[in-house]
DNA sequence: GGGGACTCTAAGCGCTCGCTCACCTTCGGC
DNA sequence: GCCGAAGGTGAGCGAGCGCTTAGAGTCCCC
């Protein structure tokens, strides 16, 4: 049960808010199809077929194919933001919070690679308005990470030359996991999370 | 340095080997179109139009639209490999060679973002045979970076826990530049290259 | 048990896609 | 000055696209 299980791993919880059931099945089918082939190469017939429905059924629940991508992007970014926000606001030193943020964010990208891939790489397929809405969420994600780094500098824990650039690099490390991570590869999401957390701490001058 | 210059920056040199002139113009037009809209969202009419030709002219020089992507991917990966190989084989300490590799590789991704975007993110749009050929080049790129890191460990310069994971992280940092870099943004390619080189040296435990 | 809301389907519309084909130029060699 | 190759065009083919529509099945409330 590769696909269903992978999607179930940490993602169905996020799709739980999507109702009714048929709409959720279509959305999950769309995530899988977009992740595999890309938004433009995916046909509405393919999405409906994966959900076990006729092509027309899609349009009962969604106005257009783009609305599916929009919904997926928004829910995915909200989940990403929640992950980072949780890590940023917990108790602990800046180093602990940064390591927590990176490892959980990386775990999300690795374990939910299907969703993460769509969320991170299909943004440009959205129309201008939808893209701007999603970009605002993305800036909030950046801000959470930057906040932790600034805290660490203020407390003297971190030694950082360029806050904005280092923040971008941290995000790069996390997001790029969605590009290369392979479920059948040698790593478990936990391992990549721990490894990248260690590397990020080195980047900010801890140890 | 708009599109023409950006393309000229480090890329037309690479396209110089493409002849005749019309074939090169089509190829450059395809790079721009693929980078802007993605492979599947780009039409052959758009490519031909950008090159100032009729839609049919494309098929005099290329058998299919996919052949264009294949050619772009191969030439781009060969250029990337050449950049990394040059840095890996120069004189100097492992730290100097790693910093050189990262900064020049990042400069290529930032300055030639148009090409790099196609090369790094449109791989899955190729057919199985072509993809496998390109993946072989990509593995060679990884190997060059891993080689430098292993040299640094052997010489005692670097302190690295996981060679394979650290190599992947270094590549992530470089490649992801193609996703976020904006020509009109606050950074010059040189600056990003220097910043990321510094961060990578921290990751391998130098300083 | 009849009516309305909701869900889904079969069929297909209009359009654009990748690609082809018949034909037209341009030009160097003799 | 004629000829064949090379490089180009306008028109258009078959296919598949996103999406619509007319109508059938199902369920719940009265």
Q: pLDDT of B143-183, one tens digit each?
A: 999 999 999 999 999 999 999 999 999 999 999 999 999 99
Q: How many domains does chain A have?
A: 2
C-alpha span between A109 and A113 (Å, rounded):
5
Using CB atoms within 10 Å of the CB of residue B19, give its burial: 0 to 12 exposed, 13 to 18 middle, 19+ buried. Answer: exposed
Residues B103 and B192 grouped into a single domain: yes
Residues B48 and B81 grouped into a single domain: no
Shortest alpha-carbon distance between residue A189 and chain B (Å):
12
Q: What is the CATH number of the domain that holds A85?
A: 1.10.357.10
Residues B153 and B193 grouped into a single domain: yes
Look up residue B64 and give its DSSP letter: S
Residues A107 and A42 grouped into a single domain: no
Radius of gyration of chain A (CA): 18
Statement: the CB of A66 is under 7 Å from strand D: yes
Q: What mean pLDDT comes out for the span A53-57?
A: 92
* pLDDT computed for residue B162 by the predictor: 96
Radius of gyration of chain B (CA): 18
C-alpha span between B203 and B207 (Å, rounded):
10
Residues B109 and B43 grouped into a single domain: no
Shortest alpha-carbon distance between residue A16 and chain B (Å):
30
* pLDDT computed for residue A16 by the predictor: 77
Lowest-pLDDT range of A100-114, A148-162, B2-16, B17-31:
B2-16
| Nucleotide nearest B47, from its CA to each C1' | C18
Cβ–Cβ under 8 Å, residues A127 and A138 = no
**Residues 74 through 133 of chain A touching chain B, CB cutoff 8 Å:** 120-121, 124-125
Residues A116 and A186 grouped into a single domain: yes
- Find the domain containing A35 and state its range: 2-61
Q: pLDDT of B71-128, one tens digit each?
A: 999 999 999 999 999 999 999 999 999 999 999 999 999 998 899 999 999 999 999 9
Tell me whether residues A37 and B124 touch, CB distance under 8 A: yes
Residues B45 and B74 grouped into a single domain: no
Confidence of residue B6 (pLDDT cuts 50, 70, 90): very low
CB atoms within 10 A of CB B59: 13
Using CB atoms within 10 Å of the CB of residue A200, give its burial: 0 to 12 exposed, 13 to 18 middle, 19+ buried. Answer: buried
* pLDDT computed for residue B7 by the predictor: 45
Statement: the CB of A60 is under 7 Å from strand D: no
Name residues whose C-beta falls within 8 Å of residue B24's C-beta, 6 or more positions apart in sequence: B15, B16, B18
Q: What mean pLDDT comes out for the span B39-64?
A: 94
Q: What mean pLDDT comes out for the span B183-198?
A: 95
- Average of per-residue pLDDT values in chain B: 91
Statement: the CB of B93 is under 7 Å from strand C: no
Number of H helices, E strands in chain A: 12, 0
Residue finishing a domain among A36, A61, A86: A61
* pLDDT computed for residue A7 by the predictor: 44
Residue finishing a domain among B44, B61, B78: B61
Q: What mean pLDDT comes out for the span A164-175?
A: 97
Shortest alpha-carbon distance between residue A202 and chain B (Å):
5
Q: What is the CATH number of the domain that holds A9?
A: 1.10.10.60
Residue finishing a domain among B38, B61, B84: B61
Residues B57 and B86 grouped into a single domain: no
């Amino acid at each position: 049960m590769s696909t269903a299980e992978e999607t179930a791993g940490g993602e169905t919880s996020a799709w739980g808010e999507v109702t009714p059931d048929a709409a959720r099945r279509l959305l999950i089918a769309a995530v899988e199809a977009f992740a595999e082939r890309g938004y433009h190469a995916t046909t509405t017939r393919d999405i409906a077929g994966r959900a076990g429905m006729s092509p027309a059924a899609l349009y009962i629940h969604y106005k257009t194919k783009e609305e599916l991508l929009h919904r997926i992007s928004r829910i995915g970014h909200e989940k990403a933001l929640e992950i980072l926000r949780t890590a940023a606001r917990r108790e602990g030193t800046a180093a602990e919070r940064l390591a927590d943020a990176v490892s959980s964010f990386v775990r999300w990208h690795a374990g939910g690679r299907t969703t993460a891939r769509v969320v991170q790489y299909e943004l440009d397929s959205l129309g201008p308005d939808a893209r701007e809405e999603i970009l605002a969420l993305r800036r909030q994600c950046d801000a959470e990470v930057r906040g932790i780094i600034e805290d660490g500098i203020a407390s003297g824990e971190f030694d950082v030359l360029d806050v904005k650039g280092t923040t971008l690099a941290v995000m790069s490390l996390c997001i790029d996991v969605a590009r290369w991570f392979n479920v059948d590869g040698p790593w478990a999401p936990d391992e990549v999370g721990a490894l990248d957390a260690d590397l990020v701490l080195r980047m900010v001058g801890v140890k």
